[in-house]
Every structure is written in structure tokens, then in C-alpha cells.
A and B are shown apart, each in its own frame.
Chain A
Amino acid sequence: MKTNDVIIQFTAKIVFFIIFFFSIHIFMAGHYTPGGGFVGGLLTSSAIVLLVLAYDLNTVRTVLPINYIHLIATGLLLALGTAAFPMFIGKPFFTHFFDYFTLPLIGKTSLHTAMLFDAGVYLVVVGVTMTIIQRIGEDD
């Protein structure tokens, strides 16, 4: 029997972007409202899992050519680098800095180095989840 899943594939094309932008929102809003790197990473990987469910592993690997193990390493390096940077200028390990900047189009914004640490957590969570699902999915 020839299967035909045009409805699920078209829905996945649209819903993927909704889930992905919502995960970016949750990641950015984690400093003042519920959310943060962990939930944002899980939502991003669930968006990719939706693509894997609607299509198949090879198609998703062609569309998103990401080596998720390298993604884990990048996230760990980012988190460790953010934590270790203050040691080189005479501050204790894990000292964070923040300041107010005036950005174009956004206005006065508070930028904090905890954001970079959170980005490391985000990359590690996406990498670990997608590695687990890919390895189990292509196992016979």
C-alpha cells in the first residue's frame, strides 16, 4: 500500500517554525520570566523531532546538516569559556558582568554574560536530545 502523508508534512512545515520561534522566545525571556536554556533547548529539539516524524531521518539530515556531537562540544566550550573568562582578569571563577546598552531598534537593553552560559546549556541540550533520538532511530 502506497502511503500518502501530505497533510502531516504540510502541517509540520508550518508548525516547525511556530515551535522554533516560541523556543527562541522562551530562551531569551529566561532571565525575567519562566523559561531558560533547558526548556528552550528541549522545545527546539521537539521541533526537529516533529520534522523527523513527518519526513524521515535522511531528509532531515539533508535539510539540517548538523553534527550534533560537535554541537554538544561547542556548547560545553561556550559555557566553560564564559565561566573561565573572569579568571584571566583577576576575578573569581563564574563572575558575571552586566551593563545597559542602547541598541538600534530595541532601545535600552540589559545585556548579561549569563546569557552566554545559557546559550551553552541550550546547545548541549539540543545536541544530547537529538543524538539520543537519531541513534535510537537508525538502530535496527
Chain B
Amino acid sequence: MIDKLLLVALALFSISIALSLYRVIRGPSMPDRAIALDTIGVNLLSSIAIVSIVLKTKAYLEAILILGILAFIGTIAFSKYIERGVIVERKSND
């Protein structure tokens, strides 16, 4: 029973990733794409959690945390590029 529920949840997460992928490809503006990529990252993280329950292992917990950190830093870099046009500033303007 619980296995079927986990598989259904995994299928729903992949549908959600596919819908966000549509927004990445057809997004009218760049911030839409940045938000959609962040959503894909969070859904991927939840999918890894469900896969680790299905496989009955704790070896993926570090991968979940690392994926969360990388999605955070990637979204910050993406949005800073959209706003300022530069990612790494040499010195601050003020």
C-alpha cells in the first residue's frame, strides 16, 4: 500500500517538474525562468527524498541538503544577473 502511494507521489512530482519545464521553455521573461528553475530544484529534492524512502536507505540525505544549498545559490546568482547584469562585483557602488 505505502509503496503504491510513494510511486503515485513520485509520478505527481514528475508531472510538476514537467509543468515547470514548460514554464522554463516558454516563459515570456527571464524572472519566470529563474523561478521555474528554482521550483524544479525543490521538486527534484522532494523526489530524491521519496526515492530514498523507496530504496530504504539513508545515503541520500546529504545529497538532499547539498541540492537545496546549490539551488539557493544558483537562484541568487541568476536573479543578481537579471537585476544588475553582473554576478561578481569587484567593489560595491556605495
Contacts and interface: CB of A to CB of B under 8 A. Distances in A.
Contacts, number: 56
B76 interface: yes
A99 interface: no
A16 to B, nearest CB: 11
A110 interface: no
Given A34-B59, A34-B62, A50-B73, A2 B90 contact: no
Q: How many A residues touch the partner, as a band?
A: 20 to 34
Contact of B93 (A3, A34, A49): A3
A57 B76 contact: no
Given A50-B73, A50-B76, A56 B91 contact: yes
A53 B77 contact: yes
B66 A39 contact: yes
Nearest to B89: A56
Interface string B61-94: 0110110011011001100100010011111111
A26 B63 CA distance: 11
B9 to A, nearest CB: 24
Contact of B88 (A19, A22, A26, A57): A57
A58 to B, nearest CB: 5
Contacts of B94: 2-3
Contacts of B70: 46
Given A33-B59, A35-B62, A58 B69 contact: no
A67 interface: no
B91 A58 contact: yes
A111 interface: no
Contacts of A59: 91-92
